[in-house]
Amino acid sequence: MEYLDNKIKDNLKYLDKILEINLSKGTNYKIDVKTLAENINPIDISSFFSESWKDKIKGFFVKPKPLWELFGEQELNLDDASQFNSEESKFVNALLYLHNEGYIIFAQYPINTSLLLFKGMIKISSGGFYKEYTRQKKRDLYQNYAWVVAVLTFMAGWILKPLLKIVQEYFK
């Protein structure tokens, strides 16, 4: 459960990072995918924790190509993320999600440019996807506490009412 929660948090932070880079590094809120990928700079950490010593050595010396080298000037097809490896597909799927939700517009011309929309600026100014997720988790926790308190109050009233009648009769 904790692993899944951490994975969700990492993915939401990744979306926030894309929006923040789009806002800060872009000119007129436009940025090309090469610059965006350069600023995200994914690192293949899993290679350091592979199963065998041979894999660790190989992972240390054989570095994956950074995204900006792969995307460069070629046209990026958001409809087919299967053509990319896992780190690249994470990036492409993040762009596709932000585009479909109306946070950025992705244009093929000029080559691979994303434009941050007003909705994306609002999302970043309100703390982003990760902040919204943590706020919702806190709301759910407080809602659970409220239900527990309500049930305990009902049970206490249900138990105390007969006791109060007994005490009143005793002191009459």
- pLDDT number for residue 25: 82
Digit-coded pLDDT (tens) for 121-142: 999 999 999 999 999 999 999 9
- pLDDT number for residue 150: 93
**Domain regions of the chain by residue span:** 2-126, 129-172
- Between the CA of residue 146 and those of 17, 46, 112, 141, 143, what are the distances in Å? 35, 41, 49, 9, 5
Digit-coded pLDDT (tens) for 11-24: 888 889 989 888 88
Whether 21 and 40 have beta carbons less than 8 Å apart is answered as yes
Residues in a beta bridge with 114: 31, 106
Low-confidence ranges of the chain (pLDDT < 50): 43-51, 53, 60, 68
- pLDDT number for residue 44: 46
